A and B are shown apart, each in its own frame.
Chain A
């Protein structure tokens, strides 16, 4: 592979998958909604 292609492959990989990792870390830092509200039952 050419040097340019390798660089762009790394840029794409790091930004997109790095963005995913950061987004997951951000989400894990925020508390899950408290289970205080009733869940809906199936309406048959």
Chain B
């Protein structure tokens, strides 16, 4: 028998508060600010709170617990965790890692844009026509989708800086990098957005916006699409089922209250997006009144809300607009950056677990590769088209597909839910039982399957955004299929003796006694 080095100990968060802030940092991202408010408004307003809360309790929180259970029990990045569960489940972990790789590569450029718009806010540098500025002078958007290596050098430079900072944070490690980033930025983000909301609520017309957001349309509750929208919003908002929470939970000490921590993370995430909704609709109400346009015409989401509507609002708000702009775009940077760190960490952790490399070499390798791809594709005149398509397909096909696969395999093929529940219950305040099995094994996969099938049919019939078939074929369908193929191929590679599979034991493997767990 060959001699092997002494077992390695896995990196860990030094306290559960560090973990909780890091998990909140991962969950709270761009979507909390620019997606939730519009989804709520467009799906019944105040009445949407009912399906939203139901979805939080019956899908978001249970699936979050599942991720925590897998990560903490099997002590690894997604490929390692699933591999330890069962050899045949390993591809699911690689699929989740691949999803993180794709998302990380395009997510960084949005943070770059937000950073640049923070600076532009001081002078309202987008001028009188923010839309023309965004697509013209700023992005220099090409006339049609394609792949052009015509670089927009200011964006290239800022994007490179985003990657440098991300790599530095990750290279510093779990506690000194990932945790510290969230310990600094999350309180700052909350304070910034609170100030923004207070200012927004004082603007004339703010109550009109809030009325539009919260006025309940009870008939919406009879539409299945509204319930699907609620489940979709919770699912995408909480950063569950694509490897982040598995990875972060693997860095927790043995005796951690998993469900107690998870409840804080879930409600903090929802609390922040509710706060964001107050702020966004208060300023939309102001814009509606100032321009004499109905809320329905000014309300929007995504990049249009952030980089067109908000600059227009800032233009109308005089000197106060500068404060609103700086706070809003700086909040996007902070929310986005803490999420980006968590996304890239999944890939770094995977490489470390698979190869046995130290943190710095793995971070440089992963961060370097992702940065190169990101810099080649996204700060270009066609970057927005690539981002739009990649995002639509990786979220609605990739994340949803991997989530369904995970829940179905873990529940029915591997029958691991009782073991995971026992593990969680041995250390947690809030215990899991048959209701959790039903939700994770039945309800949530069923809702996600409905989401997935509807989206696949819609995209197959109608394409996406009118982009050319070849473009959606390569960067949408092709990318989605490639992630699955690569996952299957990666799972065929053996695990080296120096890998974490052989060098890092799970808590159970360390023969924990009942007394230690009491």
Contacts and interface: CB of A to CB of B under 8 A. Distances in A.
Contacts of B266: 23
User: How many residues of A sit at the interface, in one of the four size bands?
Assistant: 20 to 34
A13 B274 CA distance: 8
Given A8-B45, A40-B8, A43-B8, A20 B271 contact: yes
Pairs of residues from A and B, 4 with the lowest C-beta to C-beta distance, nearest first: A8-B46, A43-B358, A20-B267, A23-B263
20 contacts: A1-B214, A2-B211, A5-B45, A5-B210, A5-B215, A8-B47, A12-B214, A15-B49, A16-B270, A26-B263, A26-B429, A27-B261, A27-B263, A37-B254, A40-B9, A40-B11, A41-B9, A42-B173, A43-B8, A44-B360
Nearest to A29: B429
Nearest to B257: A30
Contact of A33 (B45, B254, B268, B274): B254
Contacts of B261: 27
Interface of A: 1-2, 4-9, 11-13, 15-17, 19-20, 23-24, 26-27, 29-30, 32-34, 37-44
Contact of A40 (B10, B53, B255, B274): B10
B215 A2 contact: yes
B303 interface: no
Interface residues of B, number: 44
Given A5-B45, A20-B270, 9 more contacts: A2-B211, A8-B216, A9-B214, A16-B267, A23-B260, A23-B263, A27-B261, A32-B16, A42-B360
B352 to A, nearest CB: 8
Interface of B: 8-12, 14-16, 20, 45-47, 49, 53, 173, 175, 207, 210-211, 213-216, 253-257, 260-261, 263-264, 266-268, 270-271, 274, 357-360, 429-430
Contacts of A8: 45-47, 49, 214-216
Contacts of B215: 2, 4-5, 8
A43 B46 CA distance: 51
Contacts, number: 113
Chain B interface secondary structure, helix, strand, loop or mixed?
helix
Contacts of B360: 42, 44
Contact of B211 (A5, A17, A34): A5
Contact of B9 (A6, A20, A38): A38
A11 B210 CA distance: 14
Contacts of B254: 33, 37
Contacts of A39: 9, 11-12, 14, 175
Contacts of B358: 42-44
Contact of A12 (B253, B256, B274): B274
